[in-house]
Homo-oligomer: A and B are copies of this chain.
């Protein structure tokens, strides 16, 4: 029996997920969609499996045909919706952030623990990217010794006009924060954020250069640059005692033309991480069917939000800022 999925939010991410569920996610049937804009929800319904259109997320969560929920609505709605899923005892995959505040994340954590069951996954899709998986596997092989540094680059061609300096961290760099935690099985303890003088960026501090230090003493630096113009580009190099592991760009072809050898960049993160998004949904559905949780937990969602919050404070204060995390509940097991 397929898992009946409801998607909350019919914007860019929600409609992408709806298509992926409809076309590629074996074991799942997309049964319902909702959006604050009912026409937008209905429009997604016509091009996907979602035949039940709900006026809001809470109604969708209560729909008995819906066995599991994917939340892709605005950040500010996440906490309420995830809590409703937990009340309903239904598995939920919530796009990052789990909640915009650490308090909100902790309320979700407490509610999940109260259910006695791991029901929440956070949509940190990079954990399903073949490059990061190969990097993690190389690290786990022991061949390279312990990790020492990780250099990360996160560039977008262009940011929406409403992007502010904090969003470079909470929306963009937060992916590096999560994937580094996952690669290293480690939490961060302090952060420094450097600004550079970019004449064209106005009030927006862009690019930013973030240096995080982990409990085990690994340094993770992140260039986040959301108006890099030339394209969407994500890079990482993990530096270990005996060698390094670097993500390899994966253009389909190389062209030689007009005096140059060229290869293209993806337009945005959806193209770049298209395969990872598919794998994430398939894995989520499999984990629902098997009852074995996988992917980023509510605790990971909390740690990412808390770490990003400290980065934003470091950006504002221009000082090295300590990152204080709550003790990790036993409920979430050891860091893998």
Query: Which A residues fall within an 8 A CB radius of B?
Result: 22-27, 130-131, 133-135, 138, 143-146, 148-149, 151, 153, 157, 192, 194-200, 207, 209, 211, 213, 216-219, 221, 223, 225, 228-231, 233, 239, 241-265, 275, 282
A148 touches B196 (CB 8 A): yes
| Bound form: Cα–Cα A250–B247 in Å | 11
Chain B hits for A275, CB < 8 A: 275
Chain B hits for A218, CB < 8 A: 196-197
Instruction: Output the least CB separation between A226 and chain B (Å).
Output: 13
A244 touches B255 (CB 8 A): yes
List 26 interface pairs A-B (beta carbons < 8 Å), by A numbering: A23-B27, A24-B26, A24-B282, A26-B26, A133-B252, A134-B252, A138-B253, A148-B196, A151-B153, A192-B192, A195-B219, A198-B217, A209-B221, A229-B241, A230-B243, A230-B244, A230-B258, A231-B259, A233-B256, A245-B253, A246-B255, A248-B252, A249-B261, A259-B264, A261-B263, A261-B265
Chain B hits for A153, CB < 8 A: 151
Known: A146-B199, A207-B239. 9 other contacts (CB 8 A): A143-B257, A144-B257, A148-B198, A209-B219, A231-B260, A243-B257, A246-B254, A260-B262, A261-B262
Instruction: Output the least CB separation between A87 and chain B (Å).
Output: 31
Chain B hits for A23, CB < 8 A: 26-27, 282
With known contacts A256-B230, A256-B244, A223–B149 Cβ distance under 8 A? yes
| Bound form: Cα–Cα A233–B133 in Å | 22
Chain B hits for A231, CB < 8 A: 256, 259-260
Chain B hits for A265, CB < 8 A: 256, 259-261
